[in-house]
């Protein structure tokens, strides 16, 4: 063979070799097709062989895939309606059945078919239950029922539904406002009840405080009256002792105290008879005790041109006493 044909032959052989070899990644599965017919199934990673230019290799995901369904409106027991969507995880388990069910569409076609299966399974399960169960922890059992139905229907597609979860369970838009208004009214009613209970508690505390104030004030007044009574008793005892020692002087001091209280102020005026006992010490130069035994000597008149001293004068036992009795004008010798 001439050297000129060696290089083209090597190139052709190299192209044929490369066209007949394919590599399957560990994340993939492969089918070898010949004119649309499945000739070989390759599920393990590594090298594979095919007839060049006649057979082709189609790869599929060997990993777990996810599917988010579109929101659907479901009618529950009691004519309650909810907007529900779900998230499913699935995996290709039978390449031949998957190829026959999806054709050239592959995973995208499988997503559409699985979405239809879930949209039929969700109303079938939720239509037999109540809203409280859908919104509670018990909906795990409902999701398992949806998964089992979807798994049975998806076997014909060559896939296995691993799990189904309800991701959204909301009220329809037209019912949200009414529901929010009802919830708001309930919260306002609860708040009004709390305010009323707080007002009652405040009134009880205020009444207890007022009662305590009254009790403490009464105790204080009682203590004050007791102390005042004891003080008055002590005062009377002291006065009684003083009266026993000198009754005449005691009567004189009592009269002075009566004068002070009666003539207190700038314009005090008293109207009474001249022979009243109130004037005993004002009319006597020697005091009440001496005036009782003998008539009082007349006081000498003041010298001509002299003026009477301001204030009033009292005589008691030879002593001249001045007292600021401004309501009276008497002359003292």
Query: Could you report the per-residue pLDDT of 260-287, keeping only the tens digit for each?
Result: 777 666 655 666 666 666 666 655 544 4
Summarize pLDDT for 160-209 with one digit per residue, the tens. 999 999 888 887 877 777 777 888 889 999 999 999 999 999 999 999 99
CB 291 within 8 A of CB 282: no
At 165, list the tokens: 């979860």
pTM above 0.85, yes or no: no
- Going by C-alpha positions, the residue among 259, 309, 311 that lies closest to residue 281 is 259
pLDDT at residue number 220: 93
With cut-offs at 50, 70 and 90, classify the pLDDT of residue 81. Answer: confident
Summarize pLDDT for 14-31 with one digit per residue, the tens. 777 777 788 888 888 888
Q: Residue 227 contacts by C-beta under 8 Å, 6 or more apart in sequence?
A: none
The total number of residues written for the chain in this structure: 333
**Helix H segments across the chain?**
3-20, 95-102, 106-126, 131-134, 139-154, 173-245, 247-262, 280-283, 288-293
CA distance 81 to 75: 5
Summarize pLDDT for 294-314 with one digit per residue, the tens. 444 444 434 333 333 334 444
CB 89 within 8 A of CB 59: no
Domains of the chain, each with CATH number or no CATH: 3-61 (no CATH), 65-170 (3.30.479.30), 247-301+309-323 (no CATH)
DSSP label of 70? P
């Amino acid at each position: 063979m001439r050297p000129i044909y060696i290089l083209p032959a090597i190139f052709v052989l190299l192209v044929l070799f490369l066209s007949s070899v394919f590599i399957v990644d560990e994340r993939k599965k492969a089918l070898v097709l010949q004119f649309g017919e499945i000739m070989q199934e390759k599920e393990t990673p590594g090298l594979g062989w095919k007839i060049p230019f006649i057979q082709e290799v189609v790869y599929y995901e060997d990993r777990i895939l996810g599917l988010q369904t579109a929101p659907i409106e479901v009618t529950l027991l009691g004519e309650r309606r909810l907007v529900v969507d779900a998230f499913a995880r699935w995996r290709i388990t039978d390449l031949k059945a998957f190829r026959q069910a999806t054709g050239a569409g592959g995973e995208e076609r499988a997503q559409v078919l699985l979405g239809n299966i879930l949209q039929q399974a969700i109303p079938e399960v939720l239509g037999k239950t109540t809203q409280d169960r859908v919104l509670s922890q018990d909906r795990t059992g409902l999701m398992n029922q949806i998964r089992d139905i979807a798994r049975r229907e998806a076997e014909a597609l060559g896939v296995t539904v691993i799990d189904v979860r309800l991701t959204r369970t909301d009220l329809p838009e037209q019912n949200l406002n009414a529901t929010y208004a009802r919830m708001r009214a309930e919260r306002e009613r609860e708040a009004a009840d709390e305010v009323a209970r707080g007002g009652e508690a405040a009134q009880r505390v205020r009444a207890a405080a007022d009662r305590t104030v009254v009790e403490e004030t009464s105790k204080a007044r009682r203590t004050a009256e007791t102390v005042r009574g004891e003080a008055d008793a002590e005062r009377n005892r002291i006065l009684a002792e003083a009266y026993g020692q000198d009754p005449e002087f005691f009567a004189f001091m009592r009269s002075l105290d009566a004068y002070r209280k009666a003539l207190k102020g700038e314009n005090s005026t008293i109207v009474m008879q001249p022979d009243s006992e109130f004037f005993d010490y004002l009319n006597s130069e020697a005091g009440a005790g001496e005036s009782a035994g003998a008539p009082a000597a007349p006081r000498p008149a003041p010298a001509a041109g002299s003026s009477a001293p301001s204030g009033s004068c009292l005589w008691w036992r030879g002593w001249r006493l001045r007292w600021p009795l401004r309501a009276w004008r008497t002359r003292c010798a």
